[in-house]
Structures are given as C-alpha cells and as structure tokens.
Chains A and B, each alone.
Chain A
Amino acid sequence: MTRGNIFLSAVLWSIIALFVIYPLSILLVESFKIAGTDTWGISNYLEFFQDAYYLKTFGNTLLLSTLVLLTTTIFGIPLSYILARYRQRGKTVFTALILLPIVLPAYAGVFAFIIFLGRFGTVNLLLTGTGLINEPINFIYGLHGLVFIQALHMLPFIVLSLSAGFTDIDPCFEEAAEVEGASGFWRFLTVTLPLCTPTYLAGAVIVFLWPFTDWLTPLILGQVDFLPSVAYINIAYHFTDLHRKYMGIVAVVVSSIVCILLFLLARWWVERKKYTGLSKGTTSEGRVIEPGPVVKVGSYVYMGFIAALVLLIPIVLGLAAFSRRWVLEPFPTYWTLENFRVILLETPHLIKNSFVFSGLALLFGITFGLPAAYLIVRTRVPGRNALDFVITLMLAFPGMAVGVSYLLGFWQTIPLARYWIIMALALFARRLPYFLRMAHASYLQLDISLEEASEVSGAGKIRTFFNISLPLLLKGVLVGVVMFFIMAFQEISTAIFLYRGGWETLPIGIYLNWHRGMEFGIAAAMAFLMIVITFILLLIISRISGGVLKAAWGPGGT
C-alpha cells in the first residue's frame, strides 16, 4: 500500500508544482528582469528601496496595518469578552451579525459606506439638510476612512480568535488568581489576557496582513499610495511600460514576502507559546457570567452598535439595488427592478461564469483536497508535512500574487491563460487551503480504528475510504465545500488579472460597473445579489454544522 501512497504523493506534488510553485517562481524571476535589456539583476529591488515614493507606500501600508490592528484590537477585546463570557439573550444573532463581514466581499463594504458616508452620502445630506453643518464632513476619504472600513471588515478575525481564547482557557487559572486576591480588572490584565495571546496572535496576523493584500479598498477611496494598490496600477494600467510593470511585480513580491514572513513568525510563536493543553481536563464549562444590569445594558448597546455598522452594508446596497438615480438624495426616491433586469437579461453570463468557475474550482479542490488530507493525516509518506506547509502558506499569499503569477507563467511557455479554464484553476489554487483545512480537521477527529476495522474485514484502502471514511467525514467536508465556494465566488484579486472579454465574473462586473461611474446602481445590485447568494450558502452550512457561529468559520478576504 505504501507504493500507492507514494504514487498519490507524487501526483499531488506535481499538481502543486505546476499550479503553485511554478507560477510563483516565474513571478520571482520576472521581478529580477531589467526593462529594455535581456539582463537580470537586483536593480529593481535596489530602486524600490531607494525610491522615496515606493518607500512611502511601504511605510503607509505598515502604518495602515498597525492602525487597523490597533482599532480592531481595541474594539475587539470588549466585544469578544461580552460574546464569550456574558450570559445574554440573542447572543447568537449578535455573534452572527458581528462575524458577517468574513463572508461579505470587502468591496461590498466600501460601496455601501461610500453611499452612506460619502461626501454627498446619506449622513452628510441629512446633516446639511437639517442645517447642523454647512460643509459635508469627510468621513471616509483618507487614512481614517481606510482604517474604519478595513477594521470593520477584519474585526471578526480578532473577535473569533479572542473569544476562542476567552472560552478555551481553563477556568481554574482565573479562579486561582481570584483566590490569590486579584479582583476584576487586575485578574483580567495579569492572567486572562496574557493567556489569550497565542490565540489572539493567530487572528492578529491575518488582520495585520490585510492592508498588504487589499488593493481595491484604497483604490476606490482614491488613496493609491499603498503597496498593493501601487502594484495593481503599475501592472494593470502601465503594462506597456515594461519598467513600471517590473516595479509593480517587485511590489507584489515584497508584499508577498512580508505576508509570508509575518505569517510564519506568528505560526512559530503560537506553536511555541500554546498554553492550552498545559493543564489537563476542564471541570466546568468555561466561565459564563451573569452581568449586572448596567453592564448588561452597556454591552447590548455596544454589540448593537457594531452589528448596526455591519448591517448597514446589506441595507444600503439593497436600497441602491432596487433604485435608480440615487444621487444627492439621502434616500432613494425612484424604485425599480431595472438593475436586476440588466444583470439577469443583458449580462447573464456574469452569473453563469461565477457559478461555472467557482464550481469547477470546487471540483478541483475536492479532487485534490480529499486525497491530500488523507495523505497528510493518515500516512507516513515522506514530504507530507511539506505538502501541508505549502498549501497552508497559500493562506498568506496575496490574491494579486496568484493572479499576476498565473498571467506571467501561463501565457507563453504553457499557454493555459488563453483558455477560460485558467479562471477556475486560479481560483482553485488560491482557495485550496480553506477546503483542505476542513477536511484535515475532520479527518483528525475520525477514529482510525473505524477504518482499520474495515480493512481487517477485508476491504481495500480505496473501498474503505468510500464506504467508511467519506460518509463519516461528510459533515466537515461539506462545510469546507460551501466555505470554499463562498470564497471562490467572491474572488476578485486573482481573477482581475486573468479575465478576458466574456470571462467576467460577478465581482469583476461589480468593479467594472463601479468604474464606469454612473452605473453604481448595477454594481450595488450585483453586490447585493452576491450577499444574497452568500447568505443562502451560509444557511446551508448552518444546517449542516448546526450553528451560524461555526458557519462563519475561517479566515477570508478578497
């Protein structure tokens, strides 16, 4: 049987080599090319780190990352504490709402807040209308707006990781502090919070890396001096100027390296500092507190505030989707289904493409992911850990890096990019870890003796897999399937570099319609449609896994 495993390992590795390692190394190679010559060298990098402008974008991105992390942390600590520790009615609903941004595409949030908080958005129009202010307030254009929108989008990761920490640490640690005389806040500061640092860090790194990945939000808000946005502009707008193109690629590589390094650093740190499992067996069910009336009301107000901000996104987009000519009015006045008519009748291929590409990517994902999970969890084939490592690393890679590398790698030598299948392949490569991790996790929970019993009874490995393992894994795998589909469905960073006429997906449609200016009704309707589809998929997951909370699992992004 080992021979079969080695063969399987070889097949999986060659797929990874072709669709992950090859294009990414081409990306790296291209970044060393010198424009106008046939030579190579590090001059692009030297220029990048000497040029005041590129250094500024690098600094800006670091600043933005820090601010986003700070904001999410400051707002996230009380929020997670409330959600994890207080006994309150309606907690599930609030949790679901607060975690919602994970599955909402980032661009949906940007559009909604431009409509609501823009210079001539609802709030400013209402305020000037009542005469409270004369000049519209600049809510979102600028660093503060970026921080606000990105922080809201990334808040769920902090909340998820911190509340996991607050729930999982053994209650006796805090009880011991209580008995030792530490009361309330001091106990929280000296025991609870430090014990949560490993889980917090796991979420914090994802938040911190987001500004190194998200090119679209700054671009839409007119703030282009950030690393990913500059890279996008250099590559997508100035592809004829070879030098700028190479500098764009350098920017992508630099972002990727920062992402990978921080991701690995955080992983290493978390592994080293893991506090859970240090004490054996928890006696009680975690610490759930009945808050006093003042705290209770306060926490409801707080949760409500955040939930309302999140809810604004689908509401505002919904309003825009069902109206036209919503300009210079606080609320739309002309209601119509025209936007949906255009989407469904004039450009039905967008929806079709989205489903076809994501569906195919999913198919690839399952065909690759299940054997990969089997190989990693159940066998001792050499290189299985490396396989796991490479796939997990894809979590940290910016979508743009995948898109650009596919464009470079599959154009001439392997001309896959001339066929539409490249869209599905790119989505597959980009979203692979989501599926694999779910399959992996459920595989770990599956008692190996169940499989061994089948083999002892005379069934071969393959028959055992289909008769015993797969049915038992199905629940976890199905959640992974839906999550993968949601993430692939929203994907824009990779697809934007690869699409050609007729291959547009819904997210690309949203972007193009927004770009055209006056068509934001259609863009909003498309975004609204995506939210609805995502919602239906989420409902399906919560049916499978029994909880909206678990349904919102996993890190996401564009």
Chain B
Amino acid sequence: MAFIEIKNLFKRFKKVVAVNHIELEVNEGEMLTLLGPSGCGKTTTLRCIAGLEKPEEGDIIIDGKPMLSQGFVEPSKRGIGMVFQNYAVWPHMKVYKNVVYGLKIQKIPKKNIKERAQQVLELVGLDGLEERYPGQLSGGQQQRVALARALVGNPKVLLLDEPLSNLDAKLREELRFEIKSLVRRMDITSVYVTHDQAEAMVISDRIAVMDSGNVVQIGTPQEIYDKPANRFVADFIGTMNFMAGEVIQVLQDTEAVYVRTEFSDKMLCKTPSITATARGEDVFASIRPEDVEVFAEPPQDKENLFKGTIAHKAYLGNFLYFFVSVNGTMIRVQAPHNLPREEGDEIYLFLNPEKCMILV
C-alpha cells in the first residue's frame, strides 16, 4: 500500500479550479515530483498534503491515517517537514533556534534536542553557523537552514515547494544532487514541486506531470521522456518536433502508423500513441531533435528520408542546432558539430520510424 494516497482531491479558489479530482499515490521512501507549468495545481496539491489548504472534496491518507475524511487534521499534527519556496527561515531567530523550533514544541528533552540539531546541521553542512542570524547567510545557506528545520523532527513525509527556484543556476544544480542524496539516505517519503523539468529529471524517483489541475502522466523520468502520454507532456519535457498530420493507414500487426503530413504524403511512425489511433484521425507525428539523423549527402534508400534547407544554424559547442525547413515545415535537429553545412544549404533528414511517435 502506498504511503501517501490522494483520493479524488478537488480544490478551487472562488471560481478557479486549482486541483480537479486528482488521484495520486506516493510509495514509501520514494521521491515523487509534481511537475508542471505555473498555475497547473502542483503547489496547491502540495499545500493540501501539508494541510495549509482545505480542499473541497476528496481525502488524503498519510501512513494509513485519513487527513480529511475523519475530521480535518491540522498541519501541526500531520508529522510533516516542509521546505518553502521563499525559505521561510524566521529572520528574528538565530539558525539554531530556527532548527529546533519544532522540537521544542514537542517537549523533547533539551539534551536530545541539542544532539539532534547538531546531527542535522552537520548533515546539511551548516555546523558552526548556529549563532548566525538568517540575514547574515547567503540564499543557499538559508535554504539549507530550511532543509535542516524540515528534517530535524524525523518527519514521516517531507514536502518541498520549489525549494531551489530562488537560487542562482550554479547553486541550484549543486543543491539538486545534495537534496537527492540526503533524502535518499534518510529514506523519507517526499513530494517535490517544481516547474523545472531538468530539476525533476535529476531528483525524482517518479514524476507526476500536471496540467490545469489534472495529473496527465505518472512515471519514472525515463518513461516520461521516452513515452510521453500526450503532446503537452512531450512539449513540457525536453524538446519535440510536432508535425501535424492525418492517419492514413494503421498496420494491424505492429501498430505502426502511416501519417500524411504537410510536407510528405507518407511518414512511418513505429511508436504508437497510448490512446489508440484510427484511420482519418488528426495526430502529431513527433520526434525529438536528437533522434533526427542528419546527412549532407542522400544516403541509401530509406523510408522517412526528407530533403530540407537549413534556415538557422547555431553552434552549441558539442553539437550544431539547425532549424531545417522541409517544404515549409520547420524541424529542429541536432547535428554533429563537424558537419560542413551553412544556412541556406540543402540537407537530408532521416526521421527514424522507430523513434517517431504519434501524439495527440
């Protein structure tokens, strides 16, 4: 049984539906990320788990105990640790007081408090800074204080609300791995909210992609990247070329599909859609830029081989990035950095049928 179960959760603010009857399970000890654009309901879902928002419908069960259906359980009684986007480190308390605030409320003996605080401060690399005020710390250090405060009480669940979004890029990357290994070592069930797909890929065991109040897809980072459930997910995670078209033939045995697009009469896609497609349906034949194979000269006869003109070229160090116009349709491709082709030159694109997927 899952450690956190979210059942039919529904929350709205006045007329705006923030969370639309979602179902979600978080397994014990796993790090689940809620990923989506701003306004998709990910933060609201997290705040419902924390008890900072009261949903209109549904239930949240943490470690077998319902938080809503048998009377609302206050945030202070849920046994959770939470890291806020704005750190929420109390500026009028020293680091040490910030960290032990919750322990003092639980009336834990003073000696244990001190031990526990010492351990956790060492864990996040803040030992020696106990007597500082938050105003004397850098953003990264403040976020570590927030993390220490969330972890010090050995919470059953750790909630992280875009904890890295206020830090600069370099620090953000560093802390991603740190948080991941820390949480894994302590084996805490955690829910992590972010709008940064790269962050989600690095940190999560599983990702739940959300869009306008719904969970669109749940899966490991690889599943989500390789087999996006729909156009939204594919677009949000990584880069994808979408070629609008119409299904003209479905091969029964392999479920491969022939699509007519604006630039070709026949294009083969061997990765079918999760929702079954039928002849005549409007779909997107899709392929990621790094899956497109680029040739300066036309190779041996291949299916899905198209001739195009380079519209834009960008040198990105380890590879070249092209916008290629194929009969007026722009396709983004990644090419080896030594390919001797310039803007305006002709080029051949092989859209490998194995990598071509159908999305709606």
A residues in contact (CB < 8 Å) with B: 170, 172-173, 175-183, 186, 190-191, 194-195, 197, 273, 275, 278-283
Verify B75–A173 contact, CB threshold 8 A. no
A181-B102, A181-B105 known; A176 vs B91 contact (CB < 8 Å): no
Complex alpha-carbon distance, A183 and B74, angstroms? 9
Give min CB distance, A436 to chain B, whole Å: 30
Which of A170, A197, A281 is the one whose CB lies under 8 Å from B88? A170
B88 contacts across to A, CB distance below 8 A = 170, 172-173, 175-176, 279
Closest to A283 in B: B85
Complex alpha-carbon distance, A417 and B319, angstroms? 84
Verify A280–B76 contact, CB threshold 8 A. no
Q: Which are the 7 A-B pairs with shortest beta-carbon distances?
A: A180-B102, A279-B86, A172-B88, A176-B88, A181-B76, A172-B84, A179-B82
Complex alpha-carbon distance, A179 and B151, angstroms? 12
B81 contacts across to A, CB distance below 8 A = 179
A179 contacts across to B, CB distance below 8 A = 50-52, 75-76, 78, 80-82
Interface hits, B64-97 → A, CB 8 Å? 74-78, 80-82, 84-92
Q: Is the interface of B mostly helix, strand, loop or mixed?
A: mixed
Verify B134–A278 contact, CB threshold 8 A. yes
B87 contacts across to A, CB distance below 8 A = 279
Verify B90–A283 contact, CB threshold 8 A. no
A197 contacts across to B, CB distance below 8 A = 92
B195 on interface, CB distance cutoff 8 Å: no
Give min CB distance, A73 to chain B, whole Å: 18
A275-B91, A283-B43 known; A182 vs B84 contact (CB < 8 Å): no
Complex alpha-carbon distance, A275 and B93, angstroms? 11
B260 on interface, CB distance cutoff 8 Å: no
Complex alpha-carbon distance, A426 and B134, angstroms? 46
A275 contacts across to B, CB distance below 8 A = 91-92
A172-B84, A172-B85 known; A178 vs B76 contact (CB < 8 Å): yes
27 contacting pairs across A/B (C-beta < 8 A): A170-B86, A172-B85, A173-B88, A175-B52, A176-B146, A176-B149, A177-B90, A178-B52, A178-B76, A179-B52, A179-B75, A179-B76, A179-B78, A180-B105, A181-B77, A181-B102, A181-B105, A182-B102, A182-B105, A190-B101, A194-B92, A195-B90, A195-B91, A197-B92, A278-B135, A279-B88, A282-B86
A170 contacts across to B, CB distance below 8 A = 86, 88
B101 contacts across to A, CB distance below 8 A = 177, 180, 182, 190
Size bracket, chain B contacts:
20 to 34
Verify A172–B91 contact, CB threshold 8 A. no
Give min CB distance, A85 to chain B, whole Å: 16
Complex alpha-carbon distance, A544 and B49, angstroms? 44
Verify B86–A280 contact, CB threshold 8 A. yes
A195 contacts across to B, CB distance below 8 A = 90-92
B254 on interface, CB distance cutoff 8 Å: no
B166 on interface, CB distance cutoff 8 Å: yes
Give min CB distance, B197 to chain A, whole Å: 21
B106 on interface, CB distance cutoff 8 Å: yes
Verify B76–A182 contact, CB threshold 8 A. yes
Complex alpha-carbon distance, A175 and B50, angstroms? 10
Give min CB distance, B180 to chain A, whole Å: 22
Complex alpha-carbon distance, A337 and B91, angstroms? 60
Give min CB distance, A113 to chain B, whole Å: 39
A182-B105, A279-B87 known; A176 vs B76 contact (CB < 8 Å): no
Give min CB distance, B254 to chain A, whole Å: 49
Closest to A196 in B: B92
Complex alpha-carbon distance, A175 and B153, angstroms? 16
Closest to A195 in B: B92
Give min CB distance, A190 to chain B, whole Å: 7
Which of A183, A273, A281 is the one whose CB lies under 8 Å from B86? A281
Complex alpha-carbon distance, A178 and B149, angstroms? 13
Complex alpha-carbon distance, A170 and B76, angstroms? 19
B76 contacts across to A, CB distance below 8 A = 178-183
Complex alpha-carbon distance, A190 and B93, angstroms? 9
Give min CB distance, B140 to chain A, whole Å: 14
Closest to B146 in A: A176
Verify B90–A191 contact, CB threshold 8 A. yes
Interface hits, B8-52 → A, CB 8 Å? 43, 50-52
Complex alpha-carbon distance, A181 and B74, angstroms? 9
Complex alpha-carbon distance, A557 and B359, angstroms? 71
Give min CB distance, B246 to chain A, whole Å: 44
A180 contacts across to B, CB distance below 8 A = 76, 101-102, 105, 149, 153
Verify A172–B74 contact, CB threshold 8 A. no
Complex alpha-carbon distance, A172 and B163, angstroms? 13
B50 contacts across to A, CB distance below 8 A = 175, 179
A186 contacts across to B, CB distance below 8 A = 105
User: Per-residue CB proximity of B113-136 to A under 8 Å, as 1/0?
Assistant: 000000000000000000000110
